[in-house]
Structure 1
Amino acid sequence: MLKTMIEHNVFYGHSKSRTNPKMRPFVLSAKSGVQIVDLMKTMSQLDKAVAMVKDKVRLGGSVLFVGTTPATKFIVKETAQRLQMPYVTTRWLGGTLTNFKTILTRINHFKKLEEDKVAGRLQKYTKKERVMIDVELSKLDRFFRGIVGLDKLPSAVVITELGDGEIAAREAKLTKIPAVAFVNTNRDPDLVKYPIASNDRNSKSVAFLLSHIEKAVVEGRVAKEADAAKLAEKAKAPAVK
């Protein structure tokens, strides 16, 4: 595990001059002015995050993946799509968690417009009006496509970079949703319940960490199915007199 993490550049932090004081306990050393993350502590943090995600999915919850940086957002999107989980890879809309009722209204509006277009119900409008609707659809698609399947708040949030993801982290905290975040040495680990000290700028590092989160989701679903099978079997068993 340690060797694999090194191969995936998980250990690279930011420059020593940019270190957040709260991240010092997770720094092993410095090399050429760059902080080196203590991977033993990273492994411990990853284990805790994985266990939490697995438990949430086992109970039927969803996991919202958030990653908007150009270097890693495609990895985030692909991971979430494979898992059929919600994701945000464009700008985080303020209130996505803290004002979810309003966000859900916008999601439903987006879905209705799409359905109307596919069904040909927009033909009743003038050409100019249809152009305006297409512009609106394009904007809605950009911001809501990844969360179009959300009908309630997620059970957990995974944030791949705390710079762009800080608002998401704060909203998760306010709504008491456990959040996992890949935290570089220049960020505040206290923003989330499950920080993972790591290189959040490198696609190999992010892909490696996300692969473990993905495995946790899959295992959580398997455990959920096993639980359901046990309950069904128990229901079939004759009552003992």
Structure 2
Amino acid sequence: MARTTYDELLEAGVHFGHLTRKWDPKMSQYIFMERNGIHIIDLNKTLAKVEEAAAAIKQIVKSGRKVLFVATKKQAKDIVAEHAKSVNMPFITERWLGGMLTNFATVRKSIKKMSNIDKLTKDGTYSNLSKKERLMIQRERIKLETLLGGIADLNRLPAALFLIDVKKEHIAVSEALKLNIPTFAMVDTNSDPSNIDFPIPANDDATKSISLITGIIIKAIEEGLEERKREKDDEAEKEAAQAKAKADAPETAEGKRARKAPVEAAAAVEDDAPAAEGSEE
């Protein structure tokens, strides 16, 4: 079953590209026509690409890995943050810090600093500080939460990136490229799709378009998580059934001999042991 339809894409305005004078020639393969000075995206290709991206991202999540969502443009940040939270995936919606992936160890230190501030407030140390110190710590905590709150639970590099507007998020794309991290992205007619592993030709400015495409990706992630859970449950049931069958199985003659062998050997050693000193012969 298709994850979306041509009509849904049309209604969301996914087909509207940028002005023809702002286009990137590398997007020509995804452009259907030009109307009133605006490029129109070929929705048949969008349908095919979104299906391909959803299937690939589902397999990544099914293997137990994380997908990092990146959307710092105004009209996308709230939509992406809300969707990412619904499936417990990390996200960046404020500002991409240079080295977020290539210098991940340093970023982890900042996240740890944020958790240390939280510990101060819980163990009572925070209340013993001066008003000025408390204010400084509070401001730093808010700043860290704004920038890194979405990746607080990310303990290792993500397995993939999903981006809105690759032109705006070019630093994230270049870092992912250096580390060979697969990238999934909504690519508009003014962007270069050549560095994206799974480009989805779509309008990356309209909220309806962003919401529809992101929703499809989230649905694929949900499917991957469900399948992973189902496989784990099936495996646990199988192991429990095997253990029960083993416990209920009648003991074979060979098993009895194996169980008696240590007891008989111990008895033989005891019989062969020399009498204690001072005992009567």
Cα distance between partner residues in 1 of 2:96 and 2:157? 15
Amino acid at match of 1:178: P
**1:95 pairs with 91, 95, 99, which one?**
99
Amino acid at match of 1:185: T
Cα distance between partner residues in 2 of 1:173 and 1:47? 23
Residue 173 of structure 2 is aligned to residue 155 of structure 1 = no
Cα distance between partner residues in 2 of 1:85 and 1:134? 26
* Structure-1 residue corresponding to 2:180: 176
Residue 218 of structure 2 is aligned to residue 214 of structure 1 = yes
* Structure-2 residue corresponding to 1:65: 69
Residue 157 of structure 2 is aligned to residue 145 of structure 1 = no
* Structure-2 residue corresponding to 1:111: 115
Q: CA deviation at 1:232?
A: 2.3
Deviation readout 1:69-91 (Å, 9 max, x if unpaired) = 11111001110111111111101
Mean Cα deviation higher: 28-37 or 151-160: 151-160
Cα distance between partner residues in 2 of 1:119 and 1:143? 25
Asked which structure has the greater RCO (Cα within 8 Å, sep 6+), the reply is 1
| DSSP 3-state at the match of 2:74 | coil
Cα distance between partner residues in 1 of 2:168 and 2:34? 25
Cα distance between partner residues in 1 of 2:172 and 2:71? 10
Structure 1 residues without counterparts, runs of 5 or longer: none
Output aligned runs, 1:1-241, within 5 Å.
Answer: 1-235=5-239, 236-237=241-242
Cα distance between partner residues in 2 of 1:155 and 1:198? 23
Amino acid at match of 2:206: N
Structure 2 residues without counterparts, runs of 5 or longer: 247-281
Deviation readout 1:17-48 (Å, 9 max, x if unpaired) = 11101100100001101000011111111111
Amino acid at match of 1:186: N
From the CA coordinates, give the structure whose radius of gyration is larger.
2
Whether contact under 8 Å (2:167, 2:191) holds in the other structure is yes
Q: Percent identity?
A: 35
Amino acid at match of 1:67: A
CA RMSD, Structure 1 to Structure 2 (Å): 1.3
Q: CA deviation at 1:97?
A: 0.9
Mean Cα deviation higher: 114-123 or 178-187: 114-123
Mean Cα deviation higher: 123-132 or 177-186: 123-132
Cα distance between partner residues in 2 of 1:29 and 1:22? 15
Count, aligned residues:
239
| DSSP 3-state at the match of 2:194 | helix
Cα distance between partner residues in 2 of 1:167 and 1:122? 37
Q: CA deviation at 1:195?
A: 0.8
Amino acid at match of 1:134: Q
- Return the TM-score normalized by structure 1: 0.95
Mean Cα deviation higher: 225-234 or 28-37: 225-234
- Return the TM-score normalized by structure 2: 0.82
